[in-house]
Amino acid sequence: MALPQKPGESMRIFTCLHKPQHWLVQSNIGLSIMLFGLLTACDTDKSAEENTIDTATEQQDTNETDDTAQTDDTGETDDTGGIGEPSEACGDLTIQDNEQCDAGAGNGLDGVGCRVDCTLPVCGDGHRAPGEYCDDGNTTNGDGCDATCLTEHALPRLVEPNGSTYEIIEPNATTLFGDPVVTLSSSEHFVIRVTYDDESIVDHQQPGEPLSAENLDGILSRLEEIWDVFIDDFGFAPPYYGQQNLYKTNALITDYGYLSGGTFNEAGWPEGPHPHLQMHFDATSGYHGMAHEFTHSLQNMVNAADWFEYGGWFSESHAEFMAYQFSGDGVGCSEVLVNAPHQHYGTTRNRYCNWQFWDYLSEKFSIAAVNALWSGSIGGPTFENPYSEEIPSVCGQLDGPFATLQRNMNWNIEQLNDLFGQWAMANVNWDYAQKGSIFRDSYGTYAEELDIGQRGRLTRLQAVEDGGLHYVPPEILAPQRWGYNLVRLIPDVGSDSVVVRFRGIVQTQPARSQAFGSYNMEPTEIPVPDSGWRWGLVAIDETGSSRYSALQAGARASLRFDMQDGDQELYLMVLGAPTSLHQIFWDQVSYSIYRYPWRIQVDNAVPQGFEPVVFPTDIAGEAHANGGGFVAATATVSQSAYVGPGAQVLGWAEVTDEARIEGRAIVKGDARVFDQAVVKDHALIAGHAEIYGQALVHGSAQIEGGQIYDSAEVGGITWITGSTQVYDSARVLSTNIERPLRSDSQIYGTAQLLGDIEMSVPDLAAGVWYGFVHEEFMGDPLWGANRTEPEVEVTQSTQTIGWDTDGADCRYVHVGCADDAACVQVGDVFECVVGETAPDSYERPHWDIIAECVSQN
């Protein structure tokens, strides 16, 4: 549907709502009408100029290959689905002869990305491969599984009834929230009121002033435009949906605060909740803030479950998604997700900045799939309650956006994991129908030199010799739930294919035995790991177009990816995909959240960082005599200092005394490294930073200012700027770069900052801290003030694990059981037992947790 244009602007992004036109059900519910459409992909017959979304583009469908299942005129595939007999070598987890893939004992099983003959699955062959949400053996639409193997859904579109009339609630009110209030103006769906601390604001109603008639009309006009898009075009539930009394949304102009939105109840007013948005009189221009805050009003009006613990972050993520859907351009702070994608999806660190996933979901399954996350929450207007009585609120609190998404789509966890895997592969080249070019222009490419603040975009692997040469991510940067690593692979010159042998490090029990509860933001119990992965390869050619491998799943598999003339870049994506839904609450501490480490062997390519060193050709300089690394002619390096063969010293940087620059580290700008300091791995030192004493900077740390000295250690992807000082024996190993550490902070003594650090404290001398570190927490033992050692994590260390020495049990298809046995739970472990029957799935459905809560309450 076409959106209204803003004055002087043309809208460039619209979302179609249903396809095809059949299966349309209309039912009257009270005063409201609910429309159900078969919601899969949008109509692809429209031209690009008509601003529709193709949610099943070839570029997005990551499970497509050049092969297609053969069909007859009825759309049915042949009985074999193109699957042949396996070769003698097929099933050994290595790529032999002309094999395309090999998942060992998993070949041919649903959810595994390889058929029994070591060829890649295709849609319509009856084998549900990763990235296929269904495969019913045909490529026919309208039977619940469409021609591209997307599940088809009758998702609700909640429509404002024709002729609806909205009244002003309490038009003569004189107070609201305990402050004076004056009603000024209204439109069809909104009423503007002013509430204030200083009554002089009411006098600003002359032309050109904040409360002038012209300004009020402009505010109401913009709000009505937003309503038209969100309610009429996107189909989000209007306020008071299904209720008899309809009231206008309160738009409050204030002389305090800035922007907020939500719902309220007020003594003496009709029973609520009632929607409102609050705007400081200096924040009433433009659209974005209004759209964001009005979204909060809509969320609160339709969501009946108090799921803040597991979904509080989602309210901000979704509000930003809606605001950018309205505008059609801009990316806001969303680069934050790009810069640290290994963190679990939904982390509090980037809650305003991770809305790309909702873009992808809306393109794949329509925006109704996003809307239904609110209306389908427990107690919501489209929630189907299996119980005869209302579900207790304490049980509704266990719900969340991902539990709701599974329920709405009738998906198991593997299908949800596939969605995240495809999304992560699309993010390699930002292959989005709506905003792809906007994302690419704003974020740049991964092939460009990653500067300060961007060093977490790509994961730099480490080489391990145990069990044969293989490569692993740094332990602290392995992906969490639905986080992902991107690794650039450098193919050998002239190679016609690249072979990747993948091993997920299976963990069957938590590495931590000590109960949680000693510190804030810990969960009430230790979950099991549910180790799982999605992975695949993406090539980008000289035209900027992408090509995907088949999405892969499971802990062990091998894949051949053919290279083509014109290919310029090749990336490996690995996503953490637990095999049951892991609910992670608001700001849960990182040591209680699993990471999913993995390792690879590669034929005909190497991970970036292991290719031959090439010195810059556009910078005058030479190899340093002590180590062989590159030193620019403008830089100063003492003969006693070491610059390793892959390291670089650029700009006017100085490296003196017995300092060492190792690995692929770079020192540039006016930075100085001296004394016995060591900078190594892929660290980047820039600006006026100084590293000295016996300080160690490693990993992909990015330091563009401040001083690190004495025996301090900085690693991970820590971002330091300004005049920050880290000294004594302090350690900073951050996995978060949502923003740098506070730029004037002093971190010293025995202080340690670990995990997804967001730090705003000026002075820190002791304690071991995780996550959000604020001045209010100082001295509080529940936040870590008295802690002297890092916490034992739930994730096991991989330091002693070789190539094939993980702790996998029989649930993992590459282990398997003999033909006369099945994998069943025996006590706390899973074993192959003769004569038993395996369950349909080893997933622990989240609804069972809700059901148990209901039975106990």
User: What is the β-pairing status of strands 32-39 and 696-697?
Assistant: unpaired
Most confidently modeled of 71-80, 338-347, 795-804, 838-847? 338-347
pLDDT value, residue 709: 99
CA proximity to 301, closest of 256, 252, 254, 250? 250
- pLDDT confidence band for 85 (50 / 70 / 90): low
Q: What percent of the chain has pLDDT over 70?
A: 90
Q: What is the predicted pLDDT for the residue at 87?
A: 67
Contact present, 124 and 139 (Cβ < 8 Å) = yes
Other CB atoms within 10 A of residue 310 CB? 21
Under 8 Å between Cβ of 394 and 386: no
Between these two residues, 842 and 308, which has the higher pLDDT value?
842
Q: Which two tokens stand for residue 365?
A: 């399954």
pLDDT for the residue 602: 98
CA max distance for the chain: 87
pLDDT of residue 208: 87
- How far from 505 is each of 508, 510, 795, CA to CA, in Å? 10, 13, 11
- From the list 756, 671, 780, the residue with the least C-alpha distance to 721 is 671
Cα separation, 701 vs 535, in Å, equals 26
* pLDDT over 80 at 71, yes or no: no
Mean pLDDT across 285-299: 97
Burial class (CB in 10 A: 0-12, 13-18, 19+), 515: exposed
Q: Give the three-class secondary structure for 306.
A: coil
Higher pLDDT, 388 or 296: 296
| Confidence at residue 86, expressed as pLDDT on a 0 to 100 scale | 61
Place of tokens 């593997």: 414
Res 704 pLDDT > 70: yes
Contact 694, 712 (CB under 8 A): no
pLDDT tens readout for residues 395-428: 989 999 999 999 999 999 999 999 999 999 999 9
Rounded CA-CA distance 204/198 in Å is 12
Q: Residue 802: how many CB atoms within 10 A of its CB?
A: 15
Q: CA–CA separation, 544 vs 525, rounded Å? A: 47
Question: How far is residue 352's CA from residue 364's CA, in Å, rounded to a whole number?
Answer: 22
Consecutive H or E run containing 772: strand 768-773
Q: Which strands form 731-734's sheet, in the order they lie side by side?
A: 642-643, 660-661, 678-679, 696-697, 713-716, 731-734, 752-759, 768-773
- Measured CA to CA, the distance from residue 663 to residue 678 in angstroms comes to 11
Q: Check whether 80 has a pLDDT greater than 50.
A: no
Q: Span 433-442, mean pLDDT? A: 96
CB 597 within 8 A of CB 477: no
Residue 273: asked if its preceding bond is cis (omega within 30°), the reply is yes
Residue 129 DSSP one-character state: -
For residue 207, give both structure tokens: 């032309």
Q: At 684, which amino acid appears?
A: L
Say what the alpha-carbon torsion angle 712, 713, 719, 723 is, to the nearest 10 degrees: 10
Residues 6+ apart with CB under 8 A from 163: none
- Token readout for 628 is 């062989």
For residue range 196-234, what is the model confidence (pLDDT) as tens digits?
999 888 888 889 888 999 999 999 999 999 999 999 999
CA atoms within 13 A on the CB side of 750: 10
User: 521: helix, coil or strand?
Assistant: coil
pLDDT, tens digit, 9 for 90 and up, residues 12-41: 222 232 222 222 222 222 323 333 333 333
State whether the Cα torsion 277-281-287-289 is positive or negative. negative
**C-alpha distances in angstroms, 371 versus 312, 382, 398, 542, 603?**
16, 11, 20, 38, 45
Residue 3: pLDDT band by 50, 70, 90 thresholds? very low
CB 284 within 8 A of CB 221: no
pLDDT digits (tens, 9 = 90+) for 117-164: 999 999 999 999 999 999 999 999 999 999 999 999 999 889 988 899
pTM of the model: 0.90
Side-chain half-sphere CA neighbours of 522 within 13 A: 20
CB-CB contact of 39 with 365 (8 Å): yes
Q: Can you read off the two tokens belonging to residue 89? A: 């070598």
Both structure tokens of 211: 């409360």
* Residue 156: per-residue pLDDT: 87
Q: What angle do CA 548, 425, 573 make, to 5 degrees?
A: 95
**Beta strand segments in 40-131, E:** 101-102
- Whole-angstrom Cα distance, residue 743 to residue 732? 14
DSSP string, 559-608: EEEE--TTEEEEEEEEEE--SS-----TT--GGGS-B--EEEEEESEEET
DSSP summary character for residue 360: H
Average pLDDT of the chain to the nearest whole number: 89
Instruction: Look at strands 648-649 and 630-632 and give their pairing.
Output: parallel
Nearest C-alpha neighbor of 281 from the set 412, 349, 193: 193
Q: Give 3-state DSSP helix, strand, coil % of the chain, rounded to 5.
A: 20, 25, 60
Cα separation of 195 and 176, whole Å?
Answer: 7
Q: For residue 523, list its beta bridge partners.
A: none
**Residue 310 amino acid letter:** Y
Q: Is the pLDDT of residue 738 over 50?
A: yes
Fold of 621-783: UDP N-Acetylglucosamine Acyltransferase; domain 1 (2.160.10)
Query: Encoding tokens for residue 467?
Result: 């069990």
Nearest Cα neighbor of 839 from 851, 823, 817, 815 is 823
Q: Say which residues have a Cβ less than 8 Å from residue 595's Cβ, sequence separation at least 6.
A: 475, 476, 478, 479, 480, 576, 795
Residue type, 130: P
Q: 494 forms bridges with which residues in the sheet? A: none
Q: In a 10 Å sphere around its CB, with 0-12 CB exposed, 13-18 middle and 19+ buried, how is residue 607 labelled?
A: buried
Name residue 598's beta-bridge partners.
Answer: 504
Distance of CA 427 to the CA centre of its chain: 10
- DSSP result, 673-703: E-TT-EE-TT-EE-TT-EE-TT-EE-TT-EE
Residue spans per domain, the chain: 64-148, 167-302, 461-493+502-607, 621-783, 821-856
Cβ neighbours for 381, distance < 8 A, ≥ 6 positions apart: 29, 158, 237, 241, 242, 302, 375
For residues 433 and 54, what is the distance between their CA atoms, to the nearest angstrom?
A: 7
Enter the DSSP assignment of 150.
P
**Please, which pLDDT band fits residue 97 given cuts at 50, 70 and 90?**
confident
pLDDT at 805 over 90: no
833 vs 826: CA distance, rounded Å: 9
Hey, what are 193's tokens?
């009121």
**Could you tell me the pLDDT band of residue 352, with boundaries at 50, 70 and 90?**
very high
Size of the chain in residues: 857
Tens digits of residue pLDDT in 603-631: 999 999 999 999 999 999 999 999 999 99
